[in-house]
Amino acid sequence: MTDALVIVFVKNIKLGTVKTRLAKTIGDIGAFEVYSELVKITENATKQLEIDKRIYFSTAVVDTKWQNDFKTVQNGIDLGERMLNAFKDGFKAGYKKIVLIGSDLPDLNATHITNGIKALNDSDVVFGPAEDGGYYLVGLSKPNTSIFTNKPWSQPNLLNKTLQELQKLQVSVSTLEPLNDIDTYEDLIASEFYKSNLKLQEKIQQLND
Over 80: is that where the pLDDT of 96 sits? Answer: yes
- 12-16, 69-73, 75-79, 93-97: lowest mean pLDDT where? 12-16
Over 80: is that where the pLDDT of 209 sits? Answer: no
Query: Is 146 a member of any domain?
Result: yes
Query: Is 138 a member of any domain?
Result: yes
Give the separation between CA 38 and CA 36, rounded to whole angstroms: 6
75 conformational bin, left if phi > 0, alpha if psi -120 to 50, beta if neither = beta
Express each pLDDT in 155-176 by its tens digit: 889 999 999 999 999 999 999 9
Mean pLDDT to the nearest integer, 149-153? 89
Q: Amino acid identity, residue 108?
A: L
The per-residue pLDDT for 131 is: 86
Query: Is 67 a member of any domain?
Result: yes
Contact 168, 146 (CB under 8 A): no
Give the separation between CA 124 and CA 74, rounded to whole angstroms: 24
Express each pLDDT in 181-191 by its tens digit: 888 888 898 88
Query: Is 47 a member of any domain?
Result: yes
- How many structural domains is the chain composed of? 1
b or e along 65-77 (b: 16 or more beta carbons within 10 Å of the residue's beta carbon)? bbeeeebeebeee
- Which range marks the domain in which residue 50 is found? 4-201
Query: Is 120 a member of any domain?
Result: yes
Give the pTM: 0.94
Over 90: is that where the pLDDT of 148 sits? Answer: yes
Query: Is 185 a member of any domain?
Result: yes
Express each pLDDT in 26-56 by its tens digit: 989 999 999 999 999 999 999 989 999 999 9
Query: Is 207 a member of any domain?
Result: no
Over 90: is that where the pLDDT of 113 sits? Answer: yes
* CATH code for the domain in which residue 62 is found: 3.90.550.10
Query: Is 39 a member of any domain?
Result: yes
3-state secondary structure of 61: coil
